[in-house]
Chain A
Amino acid sequence: MLVIENLHATVEGKEILKGVNLAVRAGEVHAIMGPNGSGKSTLAHVLAGNDAYEVTEGRVTFMGQDLLEMPPEERARLGLFMAFQYPVEIPGISNAYFLQAALNEIRKSHGQEELDAMEFQALLQDRMRLVAIDSSFAGRPVNEGFSGGEKKRNEILQMAILEPRLAVLDETDSGLDIDALRIVADGVNRLRSPDRAMIIVTHYQRLLNYIVPDFVHVLFEGMVVRSGGKELALELEAKGYDWVKGLGVESGSGLALAQS
């Protein structure tokens, strides 16, 4: 579904990603862990198409297409979704209106009928139950005045409505207390399916107790330095990030493992 090869990217002239390789297939959940500044969020934003990040080298193929050639809205219509670490507030636009517009843009691009307000309401109510969000969210302006936890849950609600093929969750656990974390994780788990892949970007192992990944990759100084199964997260938790600083890049890490 997604193949990242030798990806290099800079922010304001500074190289953050220095040759990332990763392959993700349908149905898989990959966790990307790493210390602050390792490039985790940069990777998420590069995949989503944020033009504050410049790709200087490498290729990304998504659903057989050259992802890097596509503007962000086309990536989204093709089934890529990023849950933001810091979702923006949009005063004056209700959640329901925003999501209906987004869903209909995606549907139109696939030649599907747009949902009218009634049909969309029904879908929205259903998905709000699925991710345990109060129905008052629908009428509130997008993220305005939401608590940190509410913003993160709102991202998961958007994912539940837009039903992406690949979801990239950028530090969705940051700033959440244990109860909020559990609610978010439950929502994500309900959205796991054989034809959907997920990339969970996180600093802490904690989230992975609730969303159990198939693969764990450690990102350090812009490269995947180690890949493994879910036990790698526990090892990392036990040894701390100082441990990875001593690791070299395993040959073909990430790419080789996922393709094996």
Chain B
Amino acid sequence: MSESVQSISKTQYLADVAQAAKSPGPKWLLELRKAAAVRLAELEFPNRRQEEWRFTNIAPIVNTSFRSMVERLAIDLRAADIEPFVFREEGWTELVFVNGFYQPSLSRIAAASTNVRCGDLTAAAGSVVEHLDRYGANGNIFTALNSAFLAGGAYVHIPAGQVMEHPIHLVFVSAGRSENTAAYPRTLVIAEPQSQAVLVESHVHLEGNVPYFNNSVTEVVVKENAHVHAYRIVQEGASSYHLSTTKVHQAAASVFKSFAVTLSGKIVRNELSVLLDGEGADCSLQGLYLTGGDQLVDNATAIEHAQPRCTSWIGYKGVLDGRSHGVFTGKIKVRRHAQKTDSKQLNNNLLLSDEAVINTKPLLEIFADDVKCTHGATVGRPPEEVIFYFKSRGISEAMAQGMLTCGFCDALLSQMELEPVRQRLDNVVFERYSPI
């Protein structure tokens, strides 16, 4: 039954892909789309019989024929429309993409004091775009879908040795969307050796309740000794679907730190995979998901230790309310050669209602023998003795719960070094949960 429904929506996608293939672009883009279209035809949408999707029902996405927005929508956004989503901090570069397409008039590029290049992906140099679809994109139908429809997106190239003083913020806005349309935000980041950069990727929306689908792909290449801090905020519409795939490739002695925060969206799945492909690389993946209503939010993290002496840390926290459903996976693969691997993961969940559900699981595949891998997960409410401590100081249970929920989130947010982002998220948490 579901198979036949799948093929109907896939037939639609393939027809649209054939149409999209005709839209003009540089040669590399036409080739990329063509290769992706071939993969798309071969691959099937995932189902719950697959381990990675066991708890995540994306039938509402798979069973709908989303029409792909391959053309720029003639939508006239003003600076005021995007004001709530940008930071306008001194020195920041903020690139705005509407339904996946670059909008120079809404963007602000900080005075070019550096050699950093960034902007519309379709205008990027050949040495940059050659990285597209290189890092484990094969086998994933959603990245194939994204590449097959690729017509815009963001790129950031940080030259060797360049230490960026200020962040680059990529703002993906869904606006003017009609029902059941799909957009394909795409980001490529190359941090050359010894470079350092801070990136923020936001996925936000203007309308209220239109069911739209964003299928986002981000590829990050962190070369030798480079440092990348990446913040990701998903704040999609209440009826919308957001599937994202982030692939990170790390070379020797590189550092990648990410904070991924999901605030809204009907079904959200963030897949974040890191390949530690050089000795002594270090990665830290932290995240926070705040759910309510009948939301489904899935964070699927995966780190592959391919080389010796790499360290990794996964720390995700969730606050689940209403009838919402959270899924967390922390997959660690340690190849035979990757001795002295040091990997830790922790997933803490606070359930605010009896009907909220969380499925959390570590998946460890370890083929080396000299490694340290630890994992842990907690699910529940604050212990009685903690609530009693509040009460004994004159604070009611309801107020204690609110304060503890804020504190639970703050313990993670306080580790964010990027002050304006932290401040904004602090405010979201405070408004949602603070009893005061």
Q: A109 — which chain B residues lie within 8 A by C-beta?
A: 394
A216 at the interface (CB under 8 A from B): no
CB distance from B108 to the nearest CB of A (A): 34
Are B392 and A91 within 8 A (Cβ)? no
| Interface-central residue, A76, A87, A158, by most chain B CB under 10 Å | A76
Q: Which of A82, A92, A141 contacts B392 (CB 8 A)?
A: A82
A243 at the interface (CB under 8 A from B): no
| Interface-central residue, A49, A73, A98, by most chain B CB under 10 Å | A73
The count of residues in chain A whose C-beta lies closer than 8 Å to any C-beta of chain B is: 32
Q: A162 — which chain B residues lie within 8 A by C-beta?
A: 393-394
Cα distance, A84 to B395, chains bound together (Å): 16
Cα distance, A99 to B394, chains bound together (Å): 10
User: Would you give the 0/1 interface string for A135-154, flagging 1 where the beta carbon is closer than 8 Å to chain B?
Assistant: 00000010000000000000
Cα distance, A90 to B392, chains bound together (Å): 14
Are B386 and A90 within 8 A (Cβ)? yes
CB distance from A108 to the nearest CB of B (A): 9
Are A88 and B386 within 8 A (Cβ)? yes
B253 at the interface (CB under 8 A from A): no
Cα distance, A81 to B394, chains bound together (Å): 9
B372 at the interface (CB under 8 A from A): no
The count of residues in chain B whose C-beta lies closer than 8 Å to any C-beta of chain A is: 25
| Interface-central residue, B395, B403, B404, B414, by most chain A CB under 10 Å | B395
Q: A88 — which chain B residues lie within 8 A by C-beta?
A: 383, 385-386, 389
Q: B414 — which chain A residues lie within 8 A by C-beta?
A: 92
Smallest CB gap from B405: residue in A? A92
Cα distance, A141 to B408, chains bound together (Å): 11
Cα distance, A232 to B390, chains bound together (Å): 35
Cα distance, A90 to B406, chains bound together (Å): 11
Contacting B at CB under 8 A, from A40-61, are 48-52
Q: A141 — which chain B residues lie within 8 A by C-beta?
A: 407, 411
User: Would you give the 0/1 interface string for A15-42, flagging 1 where the beta carbon is closer than 8 Å to chain B?
Assistant: 0000000000000000000000000000
Smallest CB gap from A91: residue in B? B411
Smallest CB gap from B414: residue in A? A92
Are B393 and A76 within 8 A (Cβ)? yes
| Interface-central residue, B394, B408, B436, by most chain A CB under 10 Å | B394
Cα distance, A49 to B411, chains bound together (Å): 29
User: Would you give the 0/1 interface string for A232-245, flagging 1 where the beta carbon is closer than 8 Å to chain B?
Assistant: 00000000000000
B409 at the interface (CB under 8 A from A): yes
Cα distance, A90 to B401, chains bound together (Å): 12
B384 at the interface (CB under 8 A from A): yes
A106 at the interface (CB under 8 A from B): yes
Contacting B at CB under 8 A, from A69-127, are 71-73, 75-77, 81-82, 84, 87-88, 90-93, 97-99, 101-103, 105-106, 109
Q: A84 — which chain B residues lie within 8 A by C-beta?
A: 389, 392
CB distance from A119 to the nearest CB of B (A): 15
Cα distance, A52 to B252, chains bound together (Å): 55
Cα distance, A219 to B132, chains bound together (Å): 76
Are A48 and B392 within 8 A (Cβ)? yes
Secondary structure class of chain B's binding surface, majority of residues: helix
Are A98 and B394 within 8 A (Cβ)? no
Q: A76 — which chain B residues lie within 8 A by C-beta?
A: 391-394
CB distance from B247 to the nearest CB of A (A): 32
Q: A99 — which chain B residues lie within 8 A by C-beta?
A: 393
Are A71 and B391 within 8 A (Cβ)? yes
Smallest CB gap from B436: residue in A? A101
Are B399 and A72 within 8 A (Cβ)? no
Q: B397 — which chain A residues lie within 8 A by C-beta?
A: 73
Cα distance, A84 to B394, chains bound together (Å): 15
User: Would you give the 0/1 interface string for A157-188, flagging 1 where the beta carbon is closer than 8 Å to chain B?
Assistant: 01000100000000000000000000000000
Smallest CB gap from A80: residue in B? B392
Are A49 and B391 within 8 A (Cβ)? yes
Smallest CB gap from B413: residue in A? A92
Q: B407 — which chain A residues lie within 8 A by C-beta?
A: 90-93, 141
Are B399 and A87 within 8 A (Cβ)? no
Q: A92 — which chain B residues lie within 8 A by C-beta?
A: 404, 406-411, 414
| Interface-central residue, A88, A90, A92, by most chain B CB under 10 Å | A92
CB distance from A165 to the nearest CB of B (A): 13
Smallest CB gap from A105: residue in B? B394
Are B408 and A73 within 8 A (Cβ)? no
Are A90 and B389 within 8 A (Cβ)? yes
Using A88-B386, A92-B409, A92-B411 as known contacts, say yes or no to A98 and B403 having CB atoms under 8 A apart: yes
10 closest A-B pairs by CB: A92-B407, A92-B411, A76-B394, A72-B391, A93-B407, A102-B393, A105-B394, A106-B394, A73-B391, A92-B410
13 A-B pairs with CB atoms under 8 Å apart are A48-B392, A73-B390, A73-B396, A75-B392, A76-B391, A76-B394, A81-B392, A91-B407, A101-B395, A105-B393, A105-B399, A141-B407, A158-B393
Question: Which residues of B come within 8 Å of A, CB atoms?
Answer: 383-386, 388-397, 399, 403-404, 406-411, 414, 436
Other A-B pairs beyond A52-B384, A90-B389, A102-B390, 16, CB < 8 Å: A50-B388, A71-B391, A72-B391, A72-B392, A73-B391, A76-B391, A76-B394, A77-B394, A81-B393, A91-B407, A92-B409, A92-B410, A98-B403, A101-B403, A105-B393, A162-B394
